[in-house]
A and B are shown apart, each in its own frame.
Chain A
Amino acid sequence: MTKVHLDHAHNLHLLKEMIRIRRFEEKCFELYQAQKIRGFLHLYDGEEAVSVGIMQALAPQDAVVATYREHGQAIARGIPMTALMAEMYGRREGCCRGRGGSMHIFDRERRFYGGNAIVGGGLPLAVGVALGDRMQERGSLTACFFGEGAVDEGEFHESLNLANLWRLPVLFACENNLYAMGMRLERAEAEPDIHKKAECYRIPSEVVDGMDVVAVEAAARRAVDSIRAGNGPYFLECRTYRFRAHSMFDAQLYRPKDEIEEWKRKGPIVRFQGWLSENALLHADELERIEVEVAAEVDAAVAFAESGTPEPVEELERFVLMDAVPA
């Protein structure tokens, strides 16, 4: 149950998932420069092991709540790149018909509840989805992603308290990338050991190397086993790093360049790929096949978005008020 089954197929799957996210976002960066994508764009480079590792432990009936830096979660959860890219293009064919954009990805079919761009704002929502699921005896859990910046918000503390008070099935996944926009962890936290904050609410917590996809998956499986056994919420502090700027408007005055280079050397893809190669678990042609397949997938997503249509302006006010609750 708990163990990660590192068979050959699973190894390749983990690697490919991380590469899919990386290449998708490289394309997003390029398209932003070309002004095809506008607004805020927060890239996930360096943090791929967190979303990919955790998604391995989730079942289709589980729910996901994420932040405005959620392309990784969206792709790892299985939302098609085509619908994602079309959303970033602001097209009708986008997953939110162009109303959400990069920061607000939703997918009802995959129980993906956003894409929340208010730091900490997704946590109460996740507690509620978990409450609703439990009251309907669905046997599912809610994985709630947030950055370490969110732990300073009151909503974080309110949500952890309520989640454990009611023993709700929530997997709190903190992506600690050391910087809340430009604010470094030690400059913001009286207690920089994030997982200790969960202990105050008597929620079992772990610190995980967020650059190690296998370690993340193993921890997520332990967390999911505990939650499904009815023990209430579980907290993972995944220590990771963001390779790129916070958004597309960031001169990165708050961190030294060599720090970024040092973290890149232990990046989740280079590390896992290196480990696989060293142990003769990955052939060069397999890696090449992954890259070719991913490149084709990204190209198809771009082509899909390019050929997308604008939502008619007459539809502007549609969904402000709903006519019915979607079945």
Chain B
Amino acid sequence: MSKIKAAILGSGNIGTDLMYKILKKDGNIELSLVAGIDPESEGLQRAREAKVETSHEGIKDILADPDIKIVFDATSAKAHMHTAEQLSEAGKMAIDLTPAAIGPYLVPPVNLNEHIEAENVNMVSCAGQATTPLVYAVSRVVPVHYAEMIATVASRAIGPGTRQNVDEFTRTTANSLEKVGGAKTARAIPVFNPAEPPITMANTVYTVIKEKDFDVDAIKKSINDIIYDVADYVPGYRLKSEPIIDYRDTPWGRLPVVVIMNEVEGEGDFFPQYAGNLDIMTASARKVGDLYANHFLQKKGVRQ
């Protein structure tokens, strides 16, 4: 079976976990290179141990190989601002795991087909990947006037980048709940909890419904369907309990709120299992890469 060659740019924690995920379940992708900047970095050492070709010259070797069609960028937003253009000129598809968001937000079970011809897609944020499908599950049944999500993650699973820019995290996630999830307006609030042993990522989604009549069972079914879709590529993605309808005082009157409680346990590939927030980023990126690779293979098939 032919495969599409892909590379990971960035040999930090995210890049390393992504590498293990692709090696474990490569599907339509052949991981041909992991590129970093420090030959002694743990990520590049691990890549060499896993018999994956490595480079410590950043993007250079990726650009030099015309066979690499898909590049996962796990560096930083600032770095991606530069590399996005280089990758585009080289005709490579970029899957951006940084907050740069040059390309459209991509949340696999929601909007993949809309952007199947995109040359750069963004993986939003961990909380965005986890909760956008849940908001979408409600909004495809009944209009969501306002969505709010609270993401509780273990303090240890939050890196310095997010800590120094919580603004960016909240903005990006709320944007995704609106643009991709379909909420009219949205808020996103992170909570970093230092409990020991570390807690597993837990998300609560509130969606405010203004409609007088709506089908509660249809909403619950839609939520269950989307959980099933996400769990296909993030096995530890599940509901903590059945969604409930709670009436709350809102600026729009006393209205029904669908409360969805979700938990994301990681696969423990490189990150500890409680770090479902990091795991869902890499698992989603792998899934997106695989779907694009499949799309490329089909296009090739048509041409042949």
Decide whether A and B assemble into one complex: no
